[in-house]
Amino acid sequence: MTDESSALAGPSALTLTAPVEDYLKAIYDIQQGGGAATTNALAERLALAPASVSGMVRRLAIQGLLEHEPYRGARLTAAGRTAALRTLRRHRILESYLATVLGVPWDDVHAEAEQLEHAASDALVDRMAHALGDPRFDPHGAPIPTRDGVVDETWHTTLAEWPVGTLGTVMSVSDKDAVMLRYLGDLELRPGAMIQVHARAPYDGPIDVLVGTQLRQIGPTAARAVRIAAVA
């Protein structure tokens, strides 16, 4: 059933525990954001004590999933990246399936998928993907890695930095915070929405932005959770 030869379902993947998958996913995520996967950054993202992260990072380095320079942070190896992408694929397909087919509210799917991603088999995830027509993006606009570990890693500017006047379209919104997600949804700031920044107050002040036909004011924190690309 499972394709053992595909890049995202290697034999070593069978032994990864749920915490390990979470660490790898978090490191991938931080690196993707351009930052260094430092001990404190990981501890905060995973809601763990730094001491715990220190220990786990050492173990993962020994297992060859990442490289660790003491006091410098962790970098995923090829094996670690593959494992992270496999988990990411499960997560995002689950999110898509739950939202699209089962009608789970879009601010709940992240937490639900967070649990299921460690339990669902590759075969099941592939079935879900197939039922959805192999989507390339999840409900929050995040790209879904293929079974072969290919993923669109294009970096997009956040709404907080989008130039005033330029027309843009929402590419993705962060799914980490359910409350913010509900807020952004209420503002119609979903993937695909057209936006145009009218004004930005200085010193990290509020942003006047046209979302579709509605003029909204949003703060910088929320704006940083929204990623924008130019209209084609």
Partner DNA sequence: CTTATAATTTCGGAGAGACGAAATCACTTC
Partner DNA sequence: GAAGTGATTTCGTCTCTCCGAAATTATAAG
Interface contacts to DNA, rule CB under 7 A: 17-20, 38-41, 46-59, 68, 70-71, 73
Q: Which does 112 bind (CB under 5 to 8 A by kind): DNA, a copy of itself, none?
A: a copy of itself
Residue 53: CB minimum distance to DNA, A: 7
Toward DNA, which CB reaches closer, 23 or 97?
A: 23
14 binding partner (options a copy of itself, DNA, none; Cβ < 5 to 8 Å by kind): none
User: What CA–CA distances, in Å, run from 50 to 44, 55, 72, 114, 229?
Assistant: 8, 9, 14, 22, 36
The CA-to-CA distance between both ends of the chain, in Å, stands at 41
Question: Of 72 and 136, which has the nearer Cβ to DNA?
Answer: 72
Beta strands 226-230 and 167-173 are: antiparallel
C-beta of 219: minimal distance to DNA in Å?
A: 24
Least distance (Å) from DNA to the CB of residue 200? 28
In terms of Cα–Cα distance, which of 219, 161, 168, 224 is closest to 196? 168
Amino acid at position 158, single letter: T
Rounded alpha-carbon distances, angstroms, from residue 202 to 163, 198, 199, 205: 13, 13, 10, 5
By beta-carbon proximity to a copy of itself, the closer residue of 123 and 201 is: 123
Considering CB distances under 5 to 8 angstroms, the limit depending on partner class, which of a copy of itself, DNA, none binds residue 68?
DNA
Contact pattern for a copy of itself over residues 117 through 156, marking x by CB under 8 A: -xxxx-xx--xx--x-------------------------
* Burial grade of 142 (CB within 10 A; 0-12, 13-18, 19 or more): buried
Interface ranges with a copy of itself (CB under 8 A): 1, 98, 101-104, 108, 112, 115-116, 118-121, 123-124, 127-128, 131
